[in-house]
Structure 1
Amino acid sequence: MAILDIAVVVLLAIAGLIFLLLQSWLAATVVRRVVGVPIGWPRSIAVGFVMSAAMGVTVQYLFRAATGQNTNGLNVTAPVAAIFLVLAVGWIFALGVAALVFIEAGFPTGSLPGPAAVFTGWKARRRRARRYSEIISIAVRHGLGSRLRGFGRGDAVERDAKTARALRDALNEAGVTFVKLGQMLSTRRDLLPGVYIRELETLQTKATPEPWESIEAAIAERLGRPLSEVFAEVDTTPLAAASVAQVHPAVLLDGTPVVIKVQRPGALEQVDLDSDIIIRLAAWLNKTTPWGKSLGVHALAKGFAGSLEEELDYTVELENMRSIEHSLNAGSFKVTVPHPHAEISGERLLVMDRLPGLPVGSAGALLTSLPAARRSELAATLLGATLQQIITDGVFHADLHAGNIFISPEGTLGLLDFGAVGRLDPATASALAMMLYAIDKNDAAAATDALVELLDRPEDLDVRKVERELGALLTRFRQGFRAGGSQQMFGLLFGLVIAHRFTVPAQIGAAFRALAAVEGTLLLIDPGMDLVAAARAEGSRLVSAKVTFGSAKDEIEQQLMSLLPMLNRLPRRVNKISEDLEQGRFSMNVRVLAHPADRRYLTGLFQQLVVAVLAGAAVVGAIMLITSNGGPLLTGQVRLYQVFGFALLFGGFVLGMRALMLVFKRDGGG
């Protein structure tokens, strides 16, 4: 019998819990509908649970009041208790709506981890927390925290130089992903001052080498066999130590000199963790800051993480190498690309023929020994090959810094590191070529058209103003300028792009970064080179080569083929229009607010206005009824009109909360 009683109690408890959960779900559903915007279910059900509990306590209290069981409390008749119960339930509901509105305003849905995340993912959260603390510790140790207040009391130039050095050192110590982030920032001359660019550029080649023991184990693991079965000799001293990979010279069993590019042990895991941190931070900035959303920092971070993930896959680099090799072999510029050995390469290991010579950044003595005419010829060859890749082929090396360009003792050029390769569609490549051609011809109108075609234009762009400013820029540099002064022109051009709020597409940005990176290398090869003048001349030559009779004929044929279906329908359409004009049936339809976004915007404003007016009217009417002394008494002190007033106030309160939530969501862009 005792077991049966326990079973009954347990069943009743389970039934009561299920009823409470259903009641909470129902209350949450109603609250979500009243608020009028999508709100997360966990917080809605939590608020509904509190409401259900409060309603249960209220029902018990008013039941005792109606049956005379409240010794020192409220005692009323059953009808009055029922009226009070309706009012109490309504106000509990209203307070639940208010709680949900303020929770949503302070912590929007999606900004906090879900309930499942509390019980899962502890290992990943511990790793992220540990990495967060490491990054903060590195930043503080290098003095970046004090940058908020300024470094000391020196002048601004000194503070900026000190901050740039601290940022470089902190990024270098933080590891692979942050070094890559610094490398990307070092190409953004449109965003950072020159002192930061100069310091961050040193991240391109200055990375601490990994010990040979760990590198040897990594090579053997990725080969799937001992090194002695593939290589006759491997030099334990690295040729280069980059942020992600390390390069060692070696000799194959057949005597071929090669280099081994091997990914650093743990680089992939570290990049995955740091990329996740960067994306999470960017998502938070995208949701909580207007500038984050306007800049699209979340999309930028995901793009950066995606490009870095691709760079860590050496099979992609191998295909990039083949594409660039084919492009250069088909052109007129002699630039060498090393031959890859695909049979012993993989996702984390790349073996390629060894290029003779040194990186341009380390070949000062070799360059000095070359005649000035030969150095100018080499610079012209490198620039021509770069422009040919971008303008003619649409496939280009996007990371042409001085560490990725080799010069041989004979004075020939070669390219390395094909992890970052850009690709342009034919229309974009032609627009870029036309911009260079228009700059060479000092044609501001054509240069403006090409610039607008290249970039994503803002809706309120003043094309005439852009043309005037670009024309003034071309006039200023028409006669050329001193060596290295091209940086000034690029800076002014980037300033014009930013001032008019153009958006630079990713591949166009890659082309600009390639030109910006190769500029420094060209000036190392030939300090007297005028990059813009050379680019103008070479770009004009490449465009002229493209605009031949044969290419023009092919282009016209292609355009005519695309227009042929429309030309076939044109006579019928012209005939219909002429008949409508003759019969007086011709009419034009203009639809106001045809775009769905415009209709949604006006509808939302009208809804806000209606809800706000109704809420205000309800609150004013409620105040008048509550303060009224007329009407019959329900109890010794409570009048019927006052009850109506509190009921009306409940309606006004709920409508006010709905209006407030609509304002929050509109301001937040939701």
Structure 2
Amino acid sequence: MEALDFGWYALLSAASLVFLFLQSWLAATVVRRVVGVPTGWPRTIVVGLVMSAGMAVAVQYLYRAGTGQNHGGLELTPGVAALFVLLAMGWIFALGVGALVMVEAAFPTGSLPSPQSVFFGWKSRRRRARRYAQVLSIATRHGLGSQLRGFGGDSPGRAVKTARALKESLAEAGVAFVKLGQMLSTRRDILPPVFVRELETLQTQVTPEPWSVIEPAVEDRLGRPIAEVFARIDPQPLAAASVAQVHEATLLDGTEVIVKVQRPKALHQVTQDLDIILRLAAWLNTTTVWGKNLGVNALAKGFADSLEEELDYRIELDNMTSIENSLRRSGRFDVTVPHGYPELSGERLLVMDKLPGRPVSQAGALLDGLSATERTRLATTLLGATLEQIIGEGTFHADLHAGNIFITPEGSLGLLDFGAVGRLDPGTQTSLGLMLYSIDQNDSAGATDALIELLGRPDGLDDREVERAVGALLLRYGGGVRSGQGQKLFDDLFTLVLAHRFSVPAPISAAFRAMASVEGALLTIDPGFDVVAASRQEGNRLVRSKLKGTKFTEELQRRALQLLPMIDRMPRRINKITEDLEHGRFSMNMRVLENPSDRRFLTSLFQQLIVAVLAGAAVVGAIMLITSAEGPMLTKDIRLYSFFGFFLLFGGFVLSMRSLMLVFRRGVDG
């Protein structure tokens, strides 16, 4: 018998819990509908539970008041008690709506960790918290912490200190932060020159991993013992970076190769730091004005994507092959790209031919042995190959510093490190080429048109003002520049771009970065080399080559074929227009709100206005009814009009909460 009673008790308890959950879910659903925006279910369910509990207490109390069981308390007739039950349930619902609106305004849905992550993600959060603390400690130690919120608005003297503190903090924080600083140093369109100059010098000092750690990593990524692939591999690295290190090796057939192997723990550290960088970017985007103005969220996501590509050596192998093929198709420039071995390479391992010679940064003895004519030829070849990749092919090496350019003993050039490669679409290539061509022709109008086509037209652009600024730039550099002043040209160009509020897309920024960074190598090869004059001449040649031969003819034919259907229909359309004009039937139709987004915007605006007006009218009407001294008495203390006033005030309160929620949501979406 006791077991049967316990079973009934358990069944009733379970049924009660199910009923309570369904009631709370129903209340939460109604609240979500009234608020008008999709709030998070966990917080809405909690509000529903509190509302259910409050309604249960209110109903029980008013039931006792209406049945004479509330001794010494409120006593009502059954009909009046029923009305008060409706009013109490309405106000409990209204207060639930208000609570949800306040919570949503203070902590928008998605800004707090999910319940699942609270219970199951504590280990990763603890690791991330330790890394957060470490990174913030580094920033604070270098004097950067106090300047985060004011970053970007410093005085010139303080800006230098901030830039230096930023560089030192990034250098100490680790590989991902170093790469972030190096990427930011290329974005002259968003960072002040003082920050760019500091970040350009950003390097990281790393100790090579011992061979006992690297050897098993190489074998794991080869999928077989080293002896089955290499006759010899040097345990001492040729070079060591924060992500990978490079070893010389010999294949079984005697071919000299380079083995680039990723450090075993590099991927884990970079992945962890990228997560922190993305979270810091989101925080800066919401808490600082400069963060929102710079678009740090988009910058961080773009950086994360590019770094993930750079860590995948299969992409670097494809980049190497693409540039090798593009230089081979051109056939004009004696520039060597090492041949890769796809069958031996993988996501974390890259095997390629060894280039003879020395990098430009260490080739002083080789260069001293060359004549002035030979050095000028090498510089011209390097610049021509760079512009050929950018304007002619659209796939280009985006990190052409002196350490990535080799000079062979025979006096030719070679390129290394294809982790950073840019790509331009054909239209962008043409616009960039036309800009260089117009600069060579001292055509400020043509250069301005090409610049607008290249970067897009900002709102409110004054074309004439831009043309005057471009003309002044052409006059300043029209006769060439002194050695080492090419960078000044790029600085002035970016100043012009920023002054007229152009935005520079990342691929175009990479192209400018390639042209700016190659200058250092060019001047090391030939200190007297006129970079600007040579760029103008080579750009002129590239554009003219596109306008010659079958390419131009084929382009004209393709455009003509696109125009043929329109030309075929044009006489009939012109004839109809002239007839309509002659007989007075000509008319024009214009749809003002054809775009669906415009209609949605106006609809939401009018909805918000109507809700606000109704809420205000309801509140004013409620106050008039509540304060009225007229009308029949519902109880000895409450008039009927006052009772209806509280019902109307309930409606006005709910409408006000909905209007507030729409305002908050528009602020988030905007």
Aligned-partner Cα distance in 1 for 2:219–2:539: 47
2:209 corresponds to? 210
Aligned to 1:348: 348
Q: Which residue of 1 aligns with 2:258?
A: 259
Q: How far apart are the structure 2 equivalents of 1:20 and 1:440?
A: 79
Map 1:542-581 → 2, pairs under 5 A: 542-581=542-581
**Displacement after TM superposition at 1:60 (Å):** 0.9
CA offsets 1:328-362 (integer angstroms, 9 cap, x no match): 12321111111112222112111111112222223
**Contact in 2 for aligned 1:204/1:242 (Cα 8 Å):** no
1:423-572, aligned counterparts within 5 Å?
Answer: 423-572=423-572
Deviation at 1:560, TM superposition (A): 1.1
Query: Which deviates the most, 132-141 or 567-576?
Result: 567-576
Hey, what's the Cα distance between the residues in 1 that align with 2:284 and 2:141? Answer: 25
1:234-633 aligned at under 5 Å gives the runs: 234-285=233-284, 295-331=294-330, 332-581=332-581, 584-633=584-633
Pick closer, same or farther for the CA change 1:147–1:298 going to 2, 3 Å: closer
Change (3 A) 1:511 1:473: same
**What are the Cα deviations for residues 558-606 of structure 1, in whole angstroms up to 9, with x where unaligned?**
2112222333333443444445445544321011222222222222222
- 1:365–1:145 Cα change, 3 Å: farther
1:102 aligns to 2:123 (yes or no): no
Residue 414 of structure 1 and its aligned partner are, at CA, apart by: 0.8
Contact 2:333 2:381 in 1 (8 A): yes
**How far off is 1:478 after superposition?**
2.2
On the 8 A contact 2:178/2:204 being kept in 1, the answer is no
Distance 1:83 1:668 in 2: 40
Aligned residue in 1 for 2:230: 231
Q: Distance in 2 between matches of 1:195 and 1:79?
A: 78
TM-score (norm 2): 0.93
**In structure 1, what is the Cα distance between the partners aligned to 2:558 and 2:470?**
32
Distance 1:245 1:464 in 2: 50
Task: Give, as a single letter, the amino acid of the residue that structure 2 aligns with 1:406.
Answer: F
Change (3 A) 1:183 1:338: same
| Residues 164/299 of structure 1: CA separation in 2 closer, same or farther (3 Å cut) | closer
SS of alignment partner, residue 233 of structure 1: strand
Alignment partners' CA distance in 1, 2:199 and 2:370: 30
* Shift in alpha-carbon separation, 1:291–1:600, aligned structure 2, 3 A: farther
Q: Say if 2:13 is the partner of 1:13.
A: yes
Deviations 1:199-238 (A, max 9, x none): 4334457544223321222112112223233222222222
C-alpha deviation, 1:506, in angstroms:
2.7
- The one-letter code sitting in structure 2 at the alignment partner of 1:257 is E
Q: Judge which range, 79-88 or 194-203, deviates more.
A: 194-203
Greater shift in the superposed pair: 536-545 or 185-194? 185-194
Amino acid across the alignment from 2:321: R
- Residue 339 of structure 1 aligns to a residue in which SS? coil
CA distance in 1, matches of 2:326, 2:106: 55
Shift in Å, 1:296: 4.4
Give the aligned residue type for 2:253.
Answer: D
Q: CA deviation at 1:288?
A: 6.4
1:147 & 1:36 partners in 2: Cα distance? 40
Q: State the alpha-carbon separation in 2 of the partners of residues 149 and 652 from structure 1.
A: 40
Q: Bigger shift: 537-546 or 272-281?
A: 272-281
1:155 deviates by: 9.8
Q: Which amino acid aligns with 2:607?
A: Q
Q: Calculate the TM-score normalised by the size of structure 1.
A: 0.93
For residues 599 and 414 of structure 1, the distance between their equivalents in structure 2, rounded to whole angstroms, comes to: 58
Q: 2:247 is matched by which residue type in structure 1?
A: H
Residue deviations 1:9-45, cap 9 Å, x none?
1111111111111111111121112112222222212
Counterpart Cα distance in 1 of 2:155 and 2:505: 37
Within a 5 Å distance, the mapping from 1:20-59 to structure 2 comes to 20-59=20-59
SS of equivalent residue, structure 2 residue 457: coil
Unaligned runs of 5+ in 2: none
Which letter does structure 1 place at the counterpart of 2:259? I
Percent identity between matched residues is 68
Measured in 2, the distance between the counterparts of 1:260 and 1:329 equals 24
Q: CA deviation at 1:184?
A: 0.7
Q: Is the 8 A contact 2:171 2:204 kept in 1?
A: no
Q: CA deviation at 1:364?
A: 3.7
1:217 counterpart letter in structure 2: P
Does the 8 Å CA contact 1:335/1:385 hold for their aligned counterparts?
A: yes
The letter for the 2-side match of 1:376 is T
> Secondary structure of 2:258's partner?
strand
In 1, distance between residues paired with 2:292 and 2:199? 26
2:133 maps to what in 1?
A: 133
Q: What is residue 118 of structure 2 aligned with on the other side?
A: 118
Distance 1:148 1:272 in 2: 24
Conserved 8 A contact 2:278-2:301:
yes
Cα RMSD for the two superposed structures: 2.5
Secondary structure at 1:540's aligned position in 2?
A: helix
Structure 2 SS opposite 1:319: helix
Kindly state the Cα deviation for residue 535 of structure 1 after the two structures are TM-superposed.
1.1
SS state of the match for residue 503, structure 2?
A: coil
Q: Distance in 1 between matches of 2:340 and 2:274?
A: 29
Aligned pairs, how many?
A: 667
Q: For structure 1, list consecutive stretches of 5 or more residues without a partner in the other structure.
A: none
Q: Deviations over 1:269-312 (max 9, x none)?
A: 22222223333343455566676566544333222222212211
User: Which has the larger displacement, 433-442 or 27-36?
Assistant: 27-36
Q: Which residue of 1 aligns with 2:175?
A: 176
The 8 Å contact of residues 394 and 426 in structure 1, kept in 2 or not, is answered as: yes
Specify the code of the residue in structure 2 equivalent to 1:618: A
Q: Any idea what SS the aligned residue of 1:94 has?
A: helix
Conserved 8 A contact 1:204-1:403: no
1:239 to partner: Cα distance: 2.0
Checking the alignment, whether the CA contact within 8 Å between 2:186 and 2:509 is kept in structure 1 is no
Report the Cα distance in structure 1 between the residues aligned to 2:261 and 2:559, rounded to whole angstroms.
48
